[in-house]
Amino acid sequence: MNLIPPSREQRQPDEVRGTISLQYRGMRIKGLDSKALDQLPPELLAWPKKRHDKPDLLYHFGFGVSFQQLHDYCVARDLLPNHYHGALTRYAAMVEAAVKEISRLCGAKLYLSTVLHIEYQWVLARYSNHMWHREVLRDRDELNAAGAIQRELGLHEPPKWYRQRVESPCGCFLM
């Protein structure tokens, strides 16, 4: 069975609503929102039946954020004790606490990754182009998760794909 989503012109009438169905390990995933997957060319997505053929480039789907945004969120919600606030040595713990709390509130798995972007150094991601088939939720759940993330962090942009920043052993950044 071909797992590449058909183009919009080739979809069946029941798929015109913006959803597709995929067959994965004998289970049907219905109502999957293809809008996020349509933003990347098919050759950049790792498909479930061809996991060994992963693309070289790694992209993450989520929201661009700064450390300061996550730090401010942690302070505003009082997620860690007050002696952590403002201490540079505690930034990582504060950011991790913020990501865990947002993940809990939106009901979806989230993670942070470094990205190549002019405004953001980090992406609060839902999934990558290598792991999308394991992490993607049904359309309604995905929209609810995205809405919760936007509401909690005060973001106005929709989620999108960000390319991961790669650092070489010598410390130089590779494109």
Please report whether residue 56 resides in a domain.
Answer: yes
| Residue 83 covered by a domain | yes
- 138 domain-assigned: yes
pLDDT single digits (tens) 56-75: 678 889 999 988 898 889 88
Q: What is the pLDDT along the chain (175 residues), one digit of tens a residue?
A: 444 555 545 444 444 444 444 443 333 444 445 566 667 776 666 666 555 555 567 888 999 998 889 888 988 898 887 766 666 667 788 889 999 999 999 988 999 998 877 788 889 998 888 877 777 777 788 888 899 999 999 999 999 888 887 665 555 555 4
Q: Which domain holds residue 128?
A: 40-174
Evaluate whether residue 29 is within a structural domain: no
Q: Please state the pTM of the whole predicted model.
A: 0.66
In the chain the beta strands, taken as DSSP E runs, fall at: 19-24, 27-33, 59-65, 111-114, 122-128, 160-163, 166-167, 173-174
Total structural domains within the chain: 1
Tokens found for residue 31: 């109502």
- The answer to whether residue 15 sits within a structural domain is no
25 part of a folded domain: no
**H/E run at residue 38:** helix 35-38
Specify if 100 maps to a domain. Answer: yes
In a domain, 72, yes or no: yes
